[in-house]
Amino acid sequence: MYAVTNPATGELIEEVPNATAEEVQAAIERVHGGYRAWRRRSVAERAAIVKRAAVLFAERADELAAIMTLEMGKRINEGRGEVGIVVDIFNYYADNGPALLADEPVAIKGGQAVITKGPIGPLLGIMPWNFPCYQVARFVAPNLVLGNTILLKHASICPRSAAAIESVLRDAGVPDDVYVNTFASSRQIPAILADPRIQGVSLTGSEQAGISVAAEAGKNLKKTVLELGGSDPLIVLDTDDMDETVKATATARMRNCGQSCNAPKRMIVLADLYDEFVDKLTKRVADFYLPGDPADPATKLPPLASIAAADEVAEQVERAVRQGATLRTGGQRIEPGAYLEATVLTDVTPEMDAYYEEIFGPVVIVFKAETDEEAIAIANDSPFGLGASVFGTDPIRNRQVADQIESGMVYMNSAGGSQADLPFGGIKRSGMGRELGPAGIEEFMNKKSIRL
C-alpha cells in the first residue's frame, strides 16, 4: 500500500492501493507502444517539451514543496530549493540535448564511419523518498530528450509527489504513453524486469535494494544504473577560519535532515585542528539544529521521513555508544513524530558497527588523523565510494589528497550537493553508472557505429 503519513505528527493522511498485476502489464504495454512514435520525433521536438516542463516545474514550486513537506518532512525552503535544481536539470538537457546527441564522425582505417546516438527503448525507474522530485528529474529529463520512454515507480511514501510529477510532464506535452507512473509494489519488480519490452532500469535507493534489482536485471540482461548508499568522508586539512569551516560542514551534513546519499557523514580532521573543530561543531549542532515544524521556514531540524527511519537511526546511535563511542550531543528521539536530536559522535573505531555502516540521519561522526596519509586511509576504509570533500587552504595539497580518495566525486572546500551539468555517481558499493551532465544522457543510449 502506498500511503501519505505526516512524519511531523505520525498522522495517516491518505492510502493509495498498489497497482494490480493487470494494471502493471497495461502500463508496460503503454510505454512499449509509445516508444516507436516518441523515438521518431526529432530531438528538437523532444527537447522543446522538456523545456516546457522546466517552466511548469518552476511555476509549481510551492505546490511541489508543500507535498514533499507533508510526505517526507522536508523543510519547506529545502523543498523549494529542490525544485530549483529540477528546473536546472530539465533546462540543461533541453538546451544541450541536441548537441549531446549529434552524430560523431570517426576516422577509421580504409574509410569513414559515424556513431549515431539513439534510445534503446522503455525503461523502468525506481525512485527513493529522500528527494522526491530531484531524483526523478535526473533520470527522466535526459531520457525523454534521448527518446526512451519511462515507467516510473516512486517510493511508497510519496504517492502525491509521483502524481504531481506526472501531471507536470503531461501538461508540458509528454504523451500519455511516454511517461507512465505506476503504483507497483516491490514484489512486482522482478516481473517487470523479466518483461522483454523493458530494456533497462535505474534505481536510487539502499544497498540491499540495489543488490536485489541488479540480480534481477542481470538475470534478464537489462542495462542497469544504480545510485546506492554512501558514507562520504570530509577531510579538514587546515583552515584560516574555523567558524566558517564548521558552519559549512555542519550545514552540509544536516541538509535534508541528514538524509542525503552524498552528505559528508564522516568528518576526518587533522590532529592540530581536531579539538577545536569538535568543540565548535558540537556547540553549533546542539544550539542551532533544533526540531520544529518543517512547514515553518524558521525550522532548522525537521523530522526524518518516517517514524521507522527515526527509530532506526536512534538505534544505530545507541549501539555505537554501547560499543564505546563518545556521544558529544543529541541522539535522543523526540515524540510525537519522527524527530531525532542532531547528534555528534567521536571515538568511533573499526570494531564498531558505526565505523562502516551508513547512518542516514542527522548524525556526524568525527575522526582524528595525524597525517594526510592517515586521513586518506580512513577515508578509503569504507565499503562505499560515492562522494568526498577536502577542505584546506592549499589547492595543490587539496588536489593531491583528492586524487587518492576512492570515490566517484570529490568536492573542494564544499560538501555534497549536485548540479545539472556535473556527472553524479559512485564506485564500490555506492553503485554503478552516472547521472547528470554529459554522462547522464549516455547510460541508456545506443551508440550505433555506421561504416560509410
Which residues are designated catalytic?
Answer: 227, 261
Other C-beta atoms closer than 10 Å to the C-beta of 206 total 15
Instruction: Kindly report whether the peptide bond that precedes residue 383 is cis, defined as omega within 30 degrees of 0.
Output: no
Rg of the Cα trace of the chain?
22
Helices in 289-341 by DSSP H: which ranges?
Answer: 307-322
> In 3D, which of 145, 101, 141 has the Cα closest to residue 125?
141
CA-closest candidate to residue 213, choices 205, 77, 106: 205
**Cα 30 from Cα 163, distance rounded (Å):** 17
Terminal-to-terminal C-alpha distance of the chain = 54
Helix, strand and coil percent figures for the chain, each rounded to 5 = 45, 20, 35
**DSSP states of 29-96:** HHHHHHHHHHHHS-HHHHHHHHHHHHHHHHHTHHHHHHHHHHHH---HHHHHHHHHHHHHHHHHHHHH
For 357, other C-beta atoms within 10 Å of its C-beta total 18
Cα 277 to Cα 295, 364, 439, distances in angstroms: 32, 12, 37
Whether 117 contacts 445, CB under 8 Å = yes
Phi and psi at residue 207, to the nearest 5°: -60, -45
Residue 130, C-alpha cell as written in the block: 529522500
| Count of residues in the chain | 452
Q: Cα–chain-centroid distance for residue 53?
A: 21
Residue type, 206: S
DSSP code for 14: E
